[in-house]
Amino acid sequence: MSELTLDAARDAKQEARGTNRSNDAGITDEYAIDYDEHSPIEVNLKPNVMVVFDHIARVSINTYGFDDILTMEQNLQGAGKYGFDIALTLANPEIIGGDLWAPEDVDEQDFPTYLIAQDADSEENPYGLREDIIEDEDGNPTGKEAVGIEDLPGGNKFEGEIVDDVPEYIEVSIGSSRAMDILGVLDTAGMWFSTKEGEVVEGLFETPPNFWTDLYDSDEDGYPRLTGYPSLRRDMVGQRGAITAEFVDDGEENTTRTGIEVDIFKVVDDSLKALTPLTPDDDAYALPEYPRTSNTYWEDADAAGGVAPEAVGADTEPESSGDLTDAAEELAADGAGVDEGDTTAGNEDTEDDIGYDDLNDDAQQFVDDAVSAMKAKDMDTITELDDFEERVATYDGTVNVTADVLADIIDAEAT
Rounded to whole angstroms, how far apart are CA atoms 189 and 210? 22
pLDDT tens, position by position, 344-387: 333 334 445 677 777 776 677 778 777 777 776 667 788 777 66
| Calculated CA dihedral for residues 214, 215, 218, 224, nearest 10 degrees | -70
Task: Answer with the residue of higher pLDDT: 201 or 174.
Answer: 174
- Residue 235's pLDDT is 94
* Domain assignments of the chain as residue spans, ordered by start: 23-319, 324-414
User: DSSP secondary-structure letter at 100?
Assistant: E
Rounded to whole angstroms, how far apart are CA atoms 402 and 279? 45
Rounded to whole angstroms, how far apart are CA atoms 77 and 74? 5
- Residue 390's pLDDT is 64
Mean pLDDT of 1-9: 64
Least confident of 22-31, 65-74, 154-163, 189-198: 65-74
Cα R_g (the chain), whole angstroms: 24
| 269 has pLDDT over 80 | yes
Task: Answer with the residue of higher pLDDT: 237 or 336.
Answer: 237
Task: Answer with the residue of higher pLDDT: 77 or 180.
Answer: 180
> Phi and psi (nearest 5°) for 264?
-115, 140
- Residue 41's pLDDT is 93
Q: What angle do CA 286, 199, 236 make, to 5 degrees?
A: 25
- Residue 171's pLDDT is 94
The DSSP string of 124-139 is TS--EEEEEEEE-TTS
Q: Collapsing DSSP states into helix, strand and coil, what is residue 329?
A: helix
* Residue 331 pLDDT class (50, 70, 90 cuts): very low
Q: How far is CA 226 from CA 69, 207, 320, 330, 364, in A?
A: 8, 9, 16, 30, 26
Rounded to whole angstroms, how far apart are CA atoms 248 and 270? 25
- Residue 42's pLDDT is 92
- Residue 239's pLDDT is 96
Helix 361-377 to helix 403-414 angle, to the nearest 10 degrees? 50
Task: With CA atoms as reference, report the closest residue to 158 among 99, 102, 108.
Answer: 102
Question: Any idea how long the chain is?
Answer: 415
